Amino acid sequence: MKSTTSLLAVTLSAAAMLFGGCVDQKKYDSLADTAQTSGARVEGLSQDVRTLQQAVEVKQRRIDELEGETRQLRAINDDLNSQIGGIRGRQQALVDELGNIRLTMLDPETDRALQALAAQYPDLIKYDAARGMLQFMADLTFDSGSDQVKPKAREGLQRLAQILAGSSASAYDVRLVGHTDSQPLGKTRGKWGTNRHLSVARSIAVEEVLRGSGIPGGRLETSGWGEYRPIVANNPGGGTAQNRRVEIYIVPGTGGGMTASEPPFPAAAPASAPARPLREEMPMK
């Protein structure tokens, strides 16, 4: 600051001498004060400049730090995107792999045997691997209103018994479920009474064939739904053969098999005796 004021004073003196005369003292003092004030102002502005420069330097360092952090975050983001891409690739591979796996509750050997059985009797048997279920079409298994198994169906059931008796399927139980359509019984109404009773009698008839072929009764469960579980809408005029069926489910065993006291079942079951007419479960059409 002092150097700046002295410089202005020297400048003023030189100017006075240059213009060849003495300068009035008051004017000189005024000019000196102005020079001193200007010097102080210049020094203040210089200090402000230095302060601003320091602030700029601090901000620049912070900018450099933020740019470094940004580069690090971008690198992390790129790495995460790469990992996500890899995970998506593995996920898609798993989806593709699962899509090639046919879900089944049965072991591969039993599954293949049941597929072959259904292929051998394509008009009689349908096989649902995902449910472990064989569907015997009732019209090819029984005559209308009858619970007597037809020869072709008996042959297929005996072949099924061979599969169930094999080592791979010996741990499974067998659930037999009879179904009918909604048509009221005709001539056999006096024997069965209702479609439900007929459906149960048919599942028992299938059980008898399997037992006669060596499957222990402790592995067999029978039931019947009658017309109450159709797989297609019943036609009031008939013609819904899909609903007339016996479903055979191969399920995990519960440990029940032939006991020492269980007598072997006869190979050929005798004809069923006429049953006493039963009360209708619902009004017949």
pLDDT of residue 281: 38
Q: Is 220 exposed, middle or buried (0-12, 13-18, 19+ CB in 10 A)?
A: buried
SS3 state at 106: coil
Q: What is the pTM of this model?
A: 0.56
For all residues of the chain together, what is the average pLDDT?
Answer: 80
For 251, other C-beta atoms within 10 Å of its C-beta total 16
Q: Give the pLDDT of residue 261.
A: 43
C-alpha–C-alpha distance, residues 195 and 22, integer Å: 141
More confident residue, 271 or 175: 175
Q: What confidence score (pLDDT) does residue 272 get?
A: 41
- For residue 207, give every residue at least 6 positions away whose Cβ sits within 8 Å of its Cβ, in sequence order, or none: 176, 217, 220, 222
247, 213, 230, 228: which is closest to 125 by C-alpha? 247
Summarize pLDDT for 5-35 with one digit per residue, the tens: 555 555 555 555 555 555 577 777 777 778 7
pLDDT tens track for 209-224:
999 999 999 999 999 9
Most confident of 40-49, 77-86, 164-173: 164-173
